Structure formats: structure tokens, C-alpha cells
Structure 1
Amino acid sequence: MNGSPSGFNNAPVTRTFVVACALFTILFGIQGRSNKLGLSYQDIFKKFQLWKLIVSVFAFSSTPELMFGLYLLYYFRVFERQIGSNKYSVFILFSVIVSLLSAILALALLKDPTLNVLTSGPYGLIFSSFVPFYLDIPVSTRFRVFGLGFSDKSFIYLAGLQLLLSSWKRSILPGICGILAGSLYRLNVFHIRRMKLPEFIASFFYRLSWPSVGSTSPAAPSRNVLGNMPSHTSRQVEGNYPVPMSSIIEPPEDSIATLVSMGFDRNNARQALVQARNDINAATNILLEAHSH
């Protein structure tokens, strides 16, 4: 599953967050201060260093964590496309705030001398995103390696596990707090899933022009509704897939059957495959995006 379309198209908030994480991590890494960014009991309850609280949300403490973290953030941009940049911004704020408060409360209650500093980085957002990933993203491909069963989702879980265990207790606690935040968002506590930021805040991200690979000039996000899905004779489909009328190929029956086995309507599955030019992963995302409405 690749979260198509490629790049940061229709995911400006994710793009901004990824670039911010990379810049903060590199900046403090060059200064040799990466190992001092983690929040400690003293930072929270005695010194209350606000700058450190903010920086700890963005900057990873090591290069391996940065690589796995940015990979997961980039993949999870599919959720911004599903619910829109406005609601996704609320999801980010909710995940970060709830996971931070949970971690602070856990430090106060545990008072574990071996857990005096938490690792830095957007662990709250990343592991909060694993909740909708587990519940909403279906498996499209299964395979076996040395007798063990895997799916296309396995690589995302393995990357998350690597990140979760990267600093042992220092990273496990923020990860667990992130999963808690994602679960509370899923349960719609305080009707959080209905909330939106003012439009001028959401549109701000579209006007940013980060020099990021794979992104195109910002455009207003489009939402796909299967009821209005173009027929197979359409010249232009969503997701920036311009398909000439003469080049359209009828979707393979086994691809349609795969999507139907996930619970999607056969006709919708066929139309999604046509839109995605028979890319089953892209078609899955189109169907999920339409289902979210």
C-alpha cells in the first residue's frame, strides 16, 4: 500500500510537519544537542522549559529514529487525504496534546528512576495514526516468507515496532500514550472528530512552498464521492490520474474480486480500479476515502 497518489499531493499539513521534523532534527544534530531534547521529570515539573516542550514534539534524537519516523509520517498522509487537511490538523493537535499530557501524568505516577527522560520526536502523532491504520486500512496483499505469513501492512507495523523499541522505556511510553490518544480520537471524545480549525489556518499550509520531493504546487484538496465517480469513459479522474479515453483498460476480474472480498461494492470497486488505472492499492485508498464521507 503506497498511499497514492505519490508525493504530498493533497497533504500539505503532512508535508509541513515532515519538513519541520527534518529541519529541527538536523539543526539540533549539527549543534550536538540531540541527546538533550528529551523531556525529563525536572523539565516538566520544576523548570517548565516551554521551548523544550515544543521542540520535543518535532525533533528526533537520532538518525535511525528520523528515518523510520519520517517514513511513517509520509505513509500516514493517506489519512489527511481521507478526512481533509482541516480535520487532520485537529487530529494532529489532539494527538500531540493528549499524548504529552498522558506521558506527563505517567511520569508523575510511575516515578521510575530508570525512566527519567523521554525520547523526543512526534511519537504521539505517529502511534496515534496506527489506530486508524489498524482499523480502517484493509490488507490487499498477503504472502509468506520462510513459512511466516505477511501482508502489505506488515512493513508499516515493523517500522512502527522498530521506532517503538528504539530507546526502550524512553520510547515505549510516548508510543503507548500516542496509541491512547488515537483511541480517544476514534471514540470521538468531546465530539473531537467534528471539530475544525478556522479555514484561514488550514489554507495557510497550502500557501507554504516547501522544497519537498514529490510535491506539486499547492491546490485545493478534492474529495471523491463514489456516487459522482466518473464512468470508464471519463477523460480525467481524481488523484491526478489523467487517462485518455483510448488508453483505459478494463480492470482484471481478480482485482475486482480482491476489493469485493474486502467488503466493497462490486460496481464501486470496478470504477475505483478504472480511476486508479488498475492499481489495486490506489483503488483501495479511493474507496476508503469515499467511504469516510
Structure 2
Amino acid sequence: MNGGPSGFTNAPVTRLFIVASAIFTIFFGIQGRFGTLGLSYQDIFGKLRLWKLIMSIFSFSSTPELMFGLYLLYYFRVFERQIGSNKYSVFIVFSILTSLLLEVLAVALLKDPTANLVTPGPYGLIFASFVPFFFDIPVSTRFRVFSFFFSDKSFIYLAGIQLLLSSWKRSILPGMCGILAGSLYRLNVFYIRKAKFPEFISSFFSRIALPSMGSSHATSSSTTRHSVGNLPSHPARQVERNYPAPMQSAVEPSEDSITTLLSMGFDRNSARQALVQARNDVNVATNILLEAQSH
């Protein structure tokens, strides 16, 4: 399944978050301090350790969790490309804080002073991202293995299930809190989906973000500005694209792909033009259409 252009093109916030998670996890792993992370009743209602709270947001507790977690964070960069880095930063902050609040309430209700009830890691953000993944990312291919039916989205769900069950009860709790946080964001509580950070804050994060890890040609000056054909007229009809250019002999998009985009609210002509540019890749065409609407 395609999440758009390879690398971190147009996803600086995701890149920064992934790098931070990897660094903190490796640091605590070398120090052998994974056991000091995670939340317990004593941490919250006894001696509050703010550093532990902050580090628990970024650091995974094992290498397998790190691998699955970073893979999912990397895939979900598609949402930063769809809504922009500023709004995606709001989504990150809202998901983390809301899931953290729900975790605290759950720990308070369970009232077990000795148990480490919540495993560390950005579970809130990862599982909050499964909500728009479920509703907004279309299925582009389906296949059958023996008597079981799968789609291209199945691999993301399987990685999520693996991460959710990685520490059993300690990982299920933050995972469920993350899904609730993502649902609240989708319901637009407090009109959160319209919120943005001030420009000076987003500019600051753009400056500290590392150079893009994508292919050099994707960000070089030789990258051309592809028009989206007859997409709805917007002031910025020509925006920088890193999607595949249409082939010389364009293949007519399949009717199933057009129908999928029509079901998402796009008009037929725009859907067809985007699919031609995306070489009949529904996910890439969806990104093209959403980016065109945001300009």
C-alpha cells in the first residue's frame, strides 16, 4: 500500500517525531532503564516525575515495539501530507494529551499501587491515527490467501494488532485510549479540526527539522510543478508534486478506482484526471485531490 512519495517529503513533523522516538528509545535501551518508564498509580498520585511522563510519550520499551511503532508512524505521514504540517501538529498534541488524560483516569480507577499499568511509547498518536486510516484511506486492492480475504490495508491493521498486544494489558490500555482520542478528534470536539498553531511555532519546527531523507531529486530545483489538469479551480492550481507524472501513453483509469474517489465526494472529471496523474493508484490520487482542495 502506498503512503505517497517515498521518504519524508512534505512530512517534516513526522520525521522529527520518528527521530525523537528512535533516539530516546535507544538511549534508555543503552542505559537499561526501560523498567523505569511507563505509568503506574504511584507515579501519578504519589511522587509525580514529570521527566518520566515526558519520556514515556516518546520511548518504546523494546526493539520489536520500536520497529512496529516507527513503521506505523512512518506510514501515517500520509495524514500530514493531506492536512498540512500545522494541523497535523495539532492532531499530534491533541492525541497525546487526550490519550494521556484517559490513561490517568484509567489508572486512577484501577487503583493498583504496585502495578506498572501503562507501557511507554507514542501509543496515543499511533492508535489515534487508525481512526482516519479506517474512515479516510480507501482500499485499492483485494486478494485472497487460502480461504481468507485481505486488502492492502490489512498489513497496517496487522502491524497495529501486533503493537497493541506487544505488552498485553500494559499496551492495550494506551492503545484503546489512543483510539478514543482519535475518535474525539474526528468528532471535532471543541472544533479542534479547525485549530492551528501560530505561524512562528510551525516555522520553528520547520527550521529544526532535519534535511529530508527522501530522494534528492524529489526536493531539488529540477522538480517540476505539475498541474492537476481540470481539478476544481483553486488559487494554487499548480503546486509542487512529488507524485509520478502521467505516462506518455496514459492508461484510462478503471471504473472501480473512479467510483472509489466519487464515494469520497470528488467529482468524476477531477477523479479521472488525478488517477491519470497517479497512474491509477487510488491512494496517491486521493492525496493529489486533497492537496488540491487545501490550496
Q: State the 1:114 CA deviation.
A: 8.1
Structure-2 change in CA distance of 1:148 and 1:126 (3 Å): same
Cα offset for 1:201? 1.1
Amino acid at match of 1:119: T
CA distance in 2, matches of 1:41, 1:288: 43
CA distance in structure 2 between the partners assigned to 1:242 and 1:147 by the alignment: 35
- How many angstroms apart in 1 are the aligned matches of 2:177 and 2:156? 19
1:67 is aligned to 67
Tell me which residue corresponds to 1:227.
232
* Corresponding residue for residue 202 of structure 2: 202
What is the aligned counterpart of 1:267 among 258, 264, 269? 269
Structure 1 residues 179, 291: CA separation in 2 closer, same or farther (over 3 Å shift)?
A: farther
The counterpart of 1:240, out of the listed 239, 242, 245, is 242
1:10-62 C-alpha deviation (Å, 9 max, x unpaired):
11111100000000001111111122211111111111100000000000000
Q: What is the distance in 1 between the residues matched to 2:2 and 2:244?
A: 19
The answer to whether the Cα contact below 8 Å between 1:115 and 1:169 also exists between their aligned partners in 2 is: no
CA distance in 2, matches of 1:277, 1:14: 26
Q: Secondary structure at the match of 2:46?
A: helix
Aligned amino acid, residue 287 of structure 1? L
- Cα deviations across residues 154-194 of structure 1 (Å, max 9, x unaligned)? 11110000000000010000000001111111111111111
Which residue of structure 2 lines up, in the alignment, with residue 281 of structure 1?
283
2:157 corresponding residue in structure 1? 157
> In the TM superposition, what is the alpha-carbon distance from 1:212 to its structure 2 partner?
6.0
- Which stretch of the first structure deviates more once superposed, 283-292 or 159-168? 283-292
Change in 2 beyond 3 A, CA 1:161/1:241:
closer
Query: SS at 1:214's partner residue?
Result: coil
1:285 Cα shift?
2.6
1:46 corresponds to which residue?
46
| Equivalent residues of 1:12, 1:206 under 8 A apart | yes
TM-score with structure 1 setting the length: 0.87
> Which amino acid letter does the alignment assign opposite residue 150 of structure 2?
F
CA apart distance, 1:118: 1.1
What CA distance in whole angstroms lies between the structure 2 residues aligned with 1:123 and 1:69?
A: 8
The sequence identity of aligned pairs, in percent, is 72
CA shift digits 1:207-238 (9 cap, x unpaired) = 2242663276699xx9x983148xxxx9x874
Deviation at 1:283, TM superposition (A): 1.5
- Number of equivalenced pairs: 282
Uncovered stretches (5+) of structure 1, i.e. residues with no partner: none
Deviations along 1:104-162, whole A, 9 cap, x unmatched?
10010122578533100000000001111111111111111111110011111100000
Q: Post-superposition shift, 1:266?
A: 2.7
Q: Which amino acid aligns with 2:256?
A: A
CA-based RMSD of the aligned residues comes to 2.7
Change (3 A) 1:4 1:162: same
Contact 2:131–2:179, Cα closer than 8 Å, also in 1: yes
Aligned to 2:257: 258
Deviates more, 1:31-40 or 1:203-212: 203-212
Q: CA deviation at 1:291?
A: 6.0
Native 8 Å contact 1:57 1:121 kept in 2: yes
Matches within 5 A, 1:8-23: 8-23=8-23
Give ranges in structure 2 of 5+ residues lacking alignment: none
Asked if 1:80 corresponds to 2:80, the answer is: yes
Q: Structure 2 vs 1, CA of residues 242 and 253 (structure 1 numbering), >3 Å: closer, same or farther?
A: closer
TM-score by length of 2: 0.87
Does the 8 A contact of 2:9 with 2:212 survive in 1? no
User: What letter matches 2:281 in structure 1?
Assistant: D
Deviates more, 1:178-187 or 1:103-112: 103-112
CA distance 1:137–1:290, shift in 2 (3 Å): farther
